[in-house]
Amino acid sequence: MDSFLTPKQKKILDFISRFAESHGYSPSQLEIAQHFGFKSLGTVQHYLVQLGNQGYLQKSWNARRGTRVGNTRTSFELPLLGRVAAGRPIEAIETRDTVEVPSFMISHGVTGHFVLQVQGDSMIEEGILEGDYVVFRKQVTAQNGQTVVALINNEATIKKYFKRKDKIELHPANDAYKPIIVDHGEDFRIEGVLAGVIRKIS
Q: How far apart (Å, rounded) are the C-alpha atoms in residues 37 and 190?
A: 33
Helix (H) / strand (E) containing 43: helix 41-53
Answer yes or no: 122 catalytic: yes
pLDDT for 93 equals 54
Answer yes or no: 159 catalytic: yes
Q: How far apart (Å, rounded) are the C-alpha atoms in residues 198 and 200?
A: 7
Q: How far apart (Å, rounded) are the C-alpha atoms in residues 110 and 123?
A: 25
pLDDT for 139 equals 92
165 CB-near residues (< 8 Å, 6+ apart): none
Q: What is the distance, to the nearest Å, from the Cα of residue 43 to the centroid of all Cα atoms in its chain?
A: 21
151 CB-near residues (< 8 Å, 6+ apart): 187, 188, 189, 191
- Selected catalytic residue, list 159, 163, 167, 200: 159
Residues 159 and 192 sit within 8 Å (Cβ to Cβ) = no
- Selected catalytic residue, list 59, 60, 122, 160: 122
Helix (H) / strand (E) containing 35: helix 29-36
pLDDT for 66 equals 52
pLDDT in tens, the chain (202 residues): 443 568 888 888 888 878 877 776 778 888 888 999 988 888 888 888 887 776 666 654 334 455 555 544 356 788 888 778 776 554 555 566 788 887 777 776 777 888 998 988 999 998 899 989 899 999 999 999 999 999 998 888 999 999 988 889 999 999 999 999 998 888 899 999 998 888 776 5
Write the burial class of residue 118 (CB in 10 Å: 0-12 exposed, 13-18 middle, 19+ buried). buried
Helix (H) / strand (E) containing 150: strand 147-152
pLDDT for 149 equals 93
Q: How far apart (Å, rounded) are the C-alpha atoms in residues 130 and 18?
A: 29
